[in-house]
Amino acid sequence: MKSQVLYKDKLPCSPLLHFTSDTEGLIEWTWRTSPPEAVYWKTYRAKKRDLRILSKVSPQQRTLLIEELYKDIINNEYPKKLKQPKVRRL
């Protein structure tokens, strides 16, 4: 019996990740998605409810850290598209 759920028998479904917070320093976190292998799907979009902070912090700090981490993920994975100015031809 396997003690850890794996994606395609290779990758862990709840990998341990690290994030450097502006206020709290190095924070350990992981994903908790349903289904667990959704972390590796190309079409998966992160949600705040799927982020789990593993480091010991207070509930208020946890809320702020999840917000900061979520903004960082969204800004890196889904950057805002810049509008190109229209070129007018005479």
What are the two backbone dihedrals, phi and then psi, of residue 74, each rounded to the nearest 5 degrees? -65, -45
In the chain, what are the domain boundaries? 6-77
Percentage of the chain modeled with pLDDT above 70: 84
| pLDDT one-digit tens code per residue, 31-42 | 888 777 787 788
Under the phi-then-psi rule, with left for phi > 0, alpha for psi from -120 to 50, and beta for the rest, what region is 55? beta
Instruction: Give residue 35's pLDDT.
Output: 79
